[in-house]
Each structure stands twice: as structure tokens, then as C-alpha cells.
Structure 1
Amino acid sequence: MSAASSDCPVCGSAETQDVVTIRSVPVYCNVLWPSRAAAREAARGDLALRVCRTCAHVYNAAFDPARMAYTPAYENSLHFSPRFQAYAEALADDLITRHGLRGKTIVEIGSGQGDFLALLCERGGNTGLGFDPSYRPGPDGAAEGRPFTIIPDYYSERYAHHPADLVCSRHVLEHIPAPREFLARIRRAVGDRPGTVIFCEVPNVRYTLRDLGIWDLIYEHCSYFSASSLAGLFADCGFAVDAVAEAYAGQFLTLEARPGVAASPPPDPTRAAVLAEAGAFADHYRAKRAHWEAELRRWEAAGRRAALWGAGSKGVTFLNTFADQSSVEYVVDINPRKQGRYVAGTGQPIVAPEALAQYRPDVVVVMNPVYRDEIRQALAGLGLSPEVLCA
């Protein structure tokens, strides 16, 4: 995929149309920087979002894969949040129970530091093998004595000799510029073992288009899947799709499949809605951006101190959307791996929640409404009662 590419990377259709163009965004939202100066020099790229009228897939036609390299500096774990951890635990328990995953073998593609793989293995008595080039291995390459191993490499046919009862991939496919080739490799590696379950989780494009989760538009994501494009991709690559569903307050899509060919799925009733939402998105995007730009100016004029909670992709995108974010002095994150670093593009320092006790903000902007109650409780525990707004 490149600036010259307008054909859909999922179905290959040339029937695509513009959604929105966003210039000069950080290439990496989830690589944080050791100094303000270095953060402000972070590489930038453009988003030229298009929607496929055939399969309702949204993608960045300006994406350049040569600019991406996932290394141990990449940090996007959400497992420090009690809310997210509870979701992950419930998801692991559900997969274990429904698919009889006890004493079995799990393969996770894009396993990060093994947070979810650990849940699947430890709660089901399973053995795991993870693959992730951004993994930070210990001295012996093992995952801290746990019942799984992570290989700092991409999954491919070369690892087909590791049979799996569950192949899991969460928040990986949206980073892949050639998703058909990627899934075809997985299909060849899995082979025709009928008992193997495939589980995939990706961001839900309808949360961006329908619910205006505009801060999820980042360079790292070259693809934004709808239920139609996700199910169609898996079916075209030789998987029988059993289920596609929204999860995590509509922010994620989950898919379950198995090797084999199923009957053609019925037309997705949400396809027309995705196309309509994509057609109206540019105006809605500009209106929401204008609203928050006015808020930032109002706080600056009134001398109100603001902090932003969440140094993940949403927070980085929010700050880089505006030329002037001087009213936001700090970004808070509960992930200790991010604290002491600086936000790509704009350079705000990332601090632990306890730092707010001294700063005493008038306004706290919550980047993901899912965590609003969790954050309110944390603020109350610090003796703070700022205005809390969800972006």
C-alpha cells in the first residue's frame, strides 16, 4: 500500500471513495520518547482514508509500510487498567469454556509481552507460544517462568510444525498492509486441522464512523475493519467464519473461525450503514475537531489547568490534532512503562496519576469513555475533584 494505491487491500475492488484526509500525524503513537525535544522531532505521515464500496473496508491509501518497524520500543499494553484487565479475563474464560481449552496448545500472533497469552495458559492449564517482533525477552528468552514462550519474530509457515488448538490474534490485523497475504500465510501454517479455532480481534470502524471515535485514526493502523470486510477477508482466505460481534462497548470487533470452506455468508446488513457513515464522516470529523479546539482555547484564556488521561494512541492523536495544546501541560497514564517519557509530536511529559496531586488540574480530559468511572475513582482517591470530560 502506498500513496499511489487506491484499490481495496481486502477485496481488491477499485470501487472506492474518499473518506477524509488528515495531514502530518505521528508515524508511531505507541513509541514514546526520552525527551521533549526528541518527541517533537518524531516522524510524521499522512492519512488518506478511503472506503471500499464493495466490502465496506476503510483503509489509509497513503500508508507506507517502509516507514514501520515494530521493535521493543513499541508499547501499547492496556492491561494495567482494571477495566481492561477484567475484559481480558472474561474473554479468556469465555474462550476456554466454550472451546474446551484445557491442557491444550495456544498460539498467539502479536502477543506483545504475553499478557493475554498468560491468561489463556494459566486459567486453562494450557501451553502457549507467542510471536511478536516487539517482545522484550528476558535473559533466557522465556516469559518469566510462565507456561508459554514468546518468539520475537513474525508468525509464518516456518512455524507450522507447532500445532495449535487456538490461534489468537488481537489488535494485529489492522497493522498489516497486505492482510490477504498475511491471512493466507496463517491458513497455510494452520493446515487442515479441523479442531483448530481462530480468534481475531480488531478495532471496530463503526466506533470511529458512527460513534465519532475520531482519536482512533492513527498512522499505525493502515486498515479499519467493518464486520463485512473482516468476515469477507477470512472467508476468502479459506476460513469458515462462525461469528462476528462487537465487543468492549462497541470499540472492538471479534471474529471466530476455523479452517475450511463454509457456505457464502449472507449479506451483512451493516454494510450500507458503514458506507453512509463513511460518506458523512468528514463533516462530523471537522465539527468535533472544531469543538475541542474551542475548548482548548477557552481553557487557555481562562487560565484553567488541564491534564489529559491516557498516553495511548487516542491521547497522542488528540494532542497532535491541534496546533496549540499549551493548556494541556501533562498526560497521565497508569502504565509505568510510559511514565517519564514524552508524547510523540507534541512533547507533553507522561506522568503517574499521583503527579496530579501537586498539579491540581481544573479539567481532566478522559480519552476513552470506557475508563471514565475508573479515572473518577482514581482522582477522588487523590483528593481531587476536577471537571472530567470525555473526548
Structure 2
Amino acid sequence: MAAIEHCRLCAQPLFARPLLVQDDMPAAAQGLPTAEGLDADRGVRLALRQCGGCGLAQLDAEPVPYWRDVIRAAGISPEMRDFRLRQFRAWLDGHGLAGRKVLEVGCGRGEYLSLLAEAGADAHGVEHLEASVDACSAAGLSVERGFVDGPETRLAAGPFDGFMILNFLEHIPTAHLTLQGIAANLADGAVGMVEVPNFDMIVDKGLFAEFIPDHLFYFTEGTLRRLLEANGFEVLDCRAEWHDYVLSAIVRKRAPQDLSGLIGCEAALRASFDDFLGRFEPGRVAIWGAGHQALALISLMGIADRVRYVLDSAPFKQGRYTPATHLPIVAPERLLDGEVDAVIVLAASYSAEVVRQIQARHGERFAIARLDDNRLQTVSPEARPC
């Protein structure tokens, strides 16, 4: 098996020195050799490496050939059944998912999918292994054969209001793409349950025999959170479950940030500019300040045709023009020429100081307004010619 040198999920380099090396290990947890196959069976070397970027511990070898197929060796125990049923019901009730469409990714033969339906969900599954899909169909479960390869994957029963992927993500070499694909098949605001083996517990309890080629990734709470947050989800909760063997994360599909408040602020400020500029003839108002905020506001407020020029005390800006709006940038002494009756001060943290300078040099010659808390505040209400 060829070693890899970069993280499968974030592409940053792995630390050169392995965290752990185990030799002559079983080559796979499935497909045990028969008597006829013993001569061909060979142990393999497992090297656990860590990403220097995201911190994720991972095997540096190729995945087992059946990594898309969920194979549970035996039916779930009565204790596990009771735990899952209580867990699923609490999750469904806590997020308003009872009666709504919930997807299990990698549902196997439907062991958990049937419990999800019993707990009250409109349960659907996706599974790659044909025999497992047939078993689900025979049990009356809604299952699509396939695999969530990436964000381009579309499932027939989607979009879903919730999803779960239980002890499967650690098998998937392109787990980041699978998470993106899950997100692409979810309704807005959908929530999910993501569970993986708990690497923190493995380390804390010294469980050195827990490493198998089937599990490419070994997640701590931190690395699981980082993976989920980098691929379309907010993590609402993450905790150890089932005797600490499992990390269980509750996530929500990330929504675009709502910037309607900014749009409202822009509209309010535009009205404030219109009110002040409306008191003067077009071209009888100057702007003080050629910083990035002032330049943006001149454009966003649509006021260039009502402004004579822009004042700025920085010599390297004088003689130039404002980008996009093409107003001349001039020295503060230009105020002595009598071309304007008002000054709007847009000098950011220097605005109060600039107002004092104008008043000290020109008295009440100019009406003055300044930007304060995203509103244009009138400092001197009227121009009073000397």
C-alpha cells in the first residue's frame, strides 16, 4: 500500500514522523481468509500520521477496497437497541423532526434505519452494497442504492430535513466531499447526527489495538469539529456517548449570513445624506476625507454629482481623483476659495478632530456634518458667511 504525505481532507502536509507504527497487522477487518487463502495472506504495516494543518490523525495507506460498503458483523444488541431508540427519539423531538424526512448515509442492512423510523422519522437511507439495499427493501425500508461522492450527488428522495451518518465517516477517504454532498441534499436549517469512534478515549485508555486499515481517520472532538465546520455545518453539540467509545456531534446545515441589517443601515444613511445635501445647491458641498470608507460612501450614496470636491490633508492624495466617482482631491486650503457652503466630514476616527480644525480656522463659515454611529449628524446647522 502506497504511503500518502498530505492530509486527505485538508491537503496540508503530514508530520514526517509517524505517531505510531504497527507491523504485521491484519490487512482488513472484513473478508477473513479461508484455509485455501492462508498462503496468500500477509500482514501489513500501519503508520498513524498527523496533519500539521488540521491536526487530524490518519493512516497513511490506501483505503480497503470495500470502504463504501457498510457491513455490520451482527445485529445490534438489546442494550444498543434501547440506547439508539432513546437517542433517536430525543434527537427527533429536540429538533422538530418527528414525521419529517431524515436520511441515514451508509444505512447497511437497515439496522439503525428501522429504529429511526420506529422513533418517529420519515426514514430514508442510502447504501452502496447491493445485498444490503435488497435486505432493506425486503424489510419495507426506503433505501436508494448509491454513495454520496460529493456536492454534485443528488438523492431521489431529497431534500431532507435531517440526516445521520453513524460510524462510517472514518472509513471514507474523501470524507470532506461526502459531507459537502450531504449538505447539498438537505433543506435549509436541516440538522444532523454525526458519529465516529472516539480517538480521545483510545489514547486516554491506552487502547493500542484499536487501529485497523478500515478506519482511515481517528477523530478527536477538535478535529471532528474542524472537519464539520469546514464542510457546510455548524456544530451545535459534540460529546462522548456509548461508554465514551463514540463521539456524537449534532450539527446544522450552515445558512448564508443574513446581512439585511447592513442593507437597512445603508438605506437609512442614504436618507440622512439626502436630507443634509438637500439644503444646499448642487456642487456647494465638499467631502473631507479620502480614506477607503469615504471613497466607498461617495459611490454607495450616489452623491458625486452633488459634491464639488474631496478635501484631504495627505499631500500624496492631493491632485488625484476619487476612484469610480472621479471627484478631485484637493488640499484643505481650498475651502478659502468660497466654492462651497458645507462640509461632510468622513475621516473615520479623526472626524471629531477635523471638525474642530474647520471650526477653529473658519468659525461658522460652513455647515458641517460628520458620520457618527452610521448616521450623518449635523454639527453646524447653517453656513454663516463672514
User: What is the TM-score of this pair, normalised by structure 2?
Assistant: 0.59
Corresponding residue for residue 104 of structure 1: 100
**1:257-309, Cα deviation, whole Å (9 max, x unpaired):** 1111699xxxxxxxxxxxxxxxxxxxxxxxxxxxxxxxxxxxxxxxxxxxxxx
Distance 1:68 1:122, change over 3 A: same
Corresponding residue for residue 128 of structure 1: 123
- Find out whether 1:90 has 2:94 as its counterpart: no
Q: After TM superposition, which residue ranges in structure 1, 4 or more long, deviate above 4 angstroms?
A: 39-44
Shift of 1:43: 6.0
Instruction: Find the aligned partners of 2:49 and 2:222 in 1 and give their Cα distance.
Output: 16
Corresponding residue for residue 62 of structure 2: 64
Distance 1:49 1:6, change over 3 A: same
- Find out whether 1:48 has 2:42 as its counterpart: no
Shift of 1:115: 0.9
- Aligned residues between the structures: 253
Largest Rg, 1 or 2: 2
**1:89-133, Cα deviation, whole Å (9 max, x unpaired):** 222222122122221111111101111111111221x32221122
| SS, match of residue 128 in structure 2 | coil
Shift of 1:70: 4.8
Identity among equivalent positions (%) equals: 23
**RMSD over equivalenced CA pairs, Å:** 2.7
| SS, match of residue 85 in structure 2 | helix
Distance 1:247 1:53, change over 3 A: farther
1:1-391 → structure 2 map (5 Å cutoff)? 3-14=2-13, 16=15, 17-32=17-32, 35-38=34-37, 41-42=40-41, 44-61=43-60, 63-65=61-63, 67-70=64-67, 75-77=71-73, 79-124=75-120, 126-137=121-132, 143-146=137-140, 148-156=141-149, 157-159=153-155, 162-190=158-186, 193-260=187-254
Shift of 1:40: 6.7
Shift of 1:5: 1.8
Q: Is the 8 A contact 1:187 1:259 kept in 2?
A: yes
Amino acid of the residue matched to residue 28 of structure 1?
A
Instruction: Find the aligned partners of 1:172 and 1:138 in 2 and give their Cα distance.
Output: 16
Distance 1:179 1:134, change over 3 A: same
What are structure 1's unaligned runs of at least 5 residues?
264-391
Shift of 1:241: 1.4
**1:149-206, Cα deviation, whole Å (9 max, x unpaired):** 223321252316612111110111100112222222222233xx32311211000111
| SS, match of residue 55 in structure 1 | coil
Amino acid of the residue matched to residue 24 of structure 1?
D
| SS, match of residue 4 in structure 2 | coil
Shift of 1:209: 1.4
Corresponding residue for residue 307 of structure 1: none
Amino acid of the residue matched to residue 6 of structure 2?
D
Instruction: Find the aligned partners of 2:100 and 2:255 in 1 and give their Cα distance.
Output: 24
Instruction: Find the aligned partners of 1:170 and 1:39 in 2 and give their Cα distance.
Output: 33
Distance 1:4 1:71, change over 3 A: closer
